Chains A and B, each alone.
Chain A
Amino acid sequence: MTADDTPSTTAAEEALPMTDTITLAPPTAPGRPGLRRTVPSLPGLTGIEIRKSLSTRSGKALAVATVLLAPVATAVVAAASTEPLTAVDGPIAIMGLLTGYLLVSLGVLSTAGEWSHRTVQTTYLLVPHRGRVLAAKAVAVALMGALLGLVSTALTSGVLALMESGVSWDGAPRAIGAAVLAGAAFAVIGAGVGAALANSAAALTGLYLVLLGVMPIVSTFEPEVANAIDPANAVINLGQGAEQAQSAVNLGVWLVVASVAGWIVTHRRAVQ
């Protein structure tokens, strides 16, 4: 944030009658004095994108669901399970992955949701540099994904601490790190695919079909291939300290491909 992010309010604060009579200050080219001269900085735009995501009921509900799903699921599984748990890193990573799957929606709604509701129109009228908007959205959903992932994982860990005794917590920090990373990465992947398809329903259906339909089949028949291409395997492996390099490349490729596709389509697409 810079000093000129806080515009002077002298002209805008002139009293206006609550009637049909319009008595605004005279317009002057190119814009009135006191207004900010440029569009917001990247951090400023990122903050606005976070507010956008959380300004609707669906956005708020998604954030709450993201935080609560994993700890609730953990409690249910821990209560139902008869076999004793040996270590927490596996469950924490798996629950982080579950949260990540939900955060895909947060990313998709941030980009494709704007096309579906046609709010891209005002977004790009006010900030014509679409790459700037897209970068702000990527940072915004990454921050939200990481934070929501962290809170969710903290609650999951609390549930495990309460319900499981005599388990190893050795790998917990690494698993929590993987869960937070999964939250950020899945949200950004969602935003990239959302931007590329520019349609919420298509992006959500397509992504979940691949992540929850195609990838498990690949895992069943070709586990080695799945390790290389399924981001779920990457998250679980990272959480358990296995296949670190391959998992990082796996997630990295997903992030780059989704972001580049979103970037290209966003720049070429006409706002009708």
Chain B
Amino acid sequence: MITVSGLTKRYGDRTVVDDVSFALEPGTVTGFLGPNGAGKTTTMRMMTGLVPVSSGTATVGGRRYGDLPNPGAVVGTLLDASAVHPGRTGRMHLQLLASVIGVPDSRVDEVLSVVGLADAARRRVGGYSLGMRQRLGIAGALLADPPVLVFDEPANGLDPEGIRWMRDLLRGHAARGGTVLLSSHLLGEVEHTVDRLLVIGGGRIVADGSVASLLGAEGTSVRADDAAALARALEAAGFHVQHEADGALVVPGAEPPAVGAVAASAGIALSDLRPVQRGLEDLFFQLTTAS
């Protein structure tokens, strides 16, 4: 549905997006993850024609965004929720969008209900909270019920309930065959929403895969009163053992059941056994220093 190929943005001799390529398929939610300034927003703005590309292409259903006959009917975009005239009411803002996209005014009231803004619809946007503006932006993106949703940091300003609501919205959209790309700088906001992670750092895609494959159990942390005996048993079983400063043993690449089995057969009582998960910060650090 969306194909991005070699997308690059240079400002002078500074490259902010460097040869970014990916393809998004219908029925999936893809998380576009990276620290602030990594190039997420610039990539999304190039995909939607707002920022001219230095090189590369981005297409939606085989067409450049700017060549879509009615782009608002195909791609629902939420980029900057504060980009609304503060003097208009939420309803008027959506009515203007609706008349450009070509959906009836009745649809405006529907999406206002969907995002929970029906009661605030006749108030001026200047009085909205950040979370309400975010919801208004999502309402605008949903007006045409488009097959593609592109959301930049949609969780900004949403409370935990709002983040869960958005997760259901995006999962539901993908379940109905939609294509979703959402960006975030916080893994926790998206890890339960997305099927796939595109990790960007320094303008380059540094990792592309499922959440589990990128952030899954990396090893096992284990504690025993007789740590030395446990370490000998694990090494005898062929595992590499790291001694942590706090007395715990870390067995890279091992699942907790395998470590437990070794301890049991050696007759060693364990006081703690848990998988070690990499945090997003660790992942970034590892990926960006390796590249």
Partner of A29, one of B51, B103, B147, B169: B147
Question: Are the CB atoms of B140 and A35 closer together than 8 Å?
Answer: no
Whether B103 pairs with A119 at a CB distance below 8 angstroms is no
Distance between Cα atoms of A36 and B70 in the complex (Å): 8
- Can you list the 8 inter-chain pairs with the closest CB atoms, starting with the nearest? A36-B102, A56-B87, A118-B83, A271-B50, A31-B73, A27-B147, A128-B66, A126-B72
Report yes or no: A40 in contact with B176, Cβ–Cβ below 8 A: no
Query: Do residues A28 and B102 form an inter-chain contact, with CB atoms below 8 A?
Result: no
Q: Given A18-B118, A35-B102: A128 and B147 within 8 A (CB)?
A: no
Q: Which of B74, B85, B169 contacts A30 (CB 8 A)?
A: B74
Q: Which residues of A contact B86 (CB under 8 A)?
A: 117
CB-contact partner of B96 in A38, A52, A124, under 8 A: A52
Determine the chain A residues whose CB is within 8 A of the CB of B50 once the complex forms. 121, 124-125, 270-271
Of A8-16, A149-157, A187-195, the one contacting chain B is A8-16
Complex Cα distance, B97 from A40, in Å, reads 11
Contacts from B to A (Cβ < 8 Å)? 1, 26, 45, 48-52, 60-61, 65-66, 68-75, 77, 79-80, 82-88, 92, 96-97, 99-104, 106-107, 110, 113-114, 116, 118, 140, 142, 144-148, 165, 168-169, 172-173, 176-178
For residue B92, give the distance in angstroms from its CB to the closest CB of chain A: 5
CA distance A25 to B177 in the complex (A): 11
Are A16 and B114 closer than 8 Å at their CB atoms?
yes
Binding site of A, secondary structure by majority: helix, strand, loop or mixed? loop
What's the Cα separation between A129 and B68 when bound, in Å?
10
The answer to whether A51 touches B114 (Cβ under 8 A) is no
Residues of chain A lying within 8 A (CB to CB) of residue B72: 39, 125-126
Residue pair A26, B73 in contact (C-beta under 8 Å): no
Complex CA distance for A27 and B1, rounded to whole angstroms:
12
Q: In the complex the two chains form, is A20's CB within 8 Å of B168's CB?
A: yes
Q: Taking each of B49, B73, B107, which has the highest tally of chain A beta carbons within 10 Å of its own beta carbon?
A: B73
- Chain A residues positioned under 8 Å from B69 (CB to CB): 37-39
Q: Say whether B82 contacts A128, CB under 8 Å.
A: no
Asked whether, in the complex, the Cβ of B49 is within 8 Å of the Cβ of A26, the reply is no
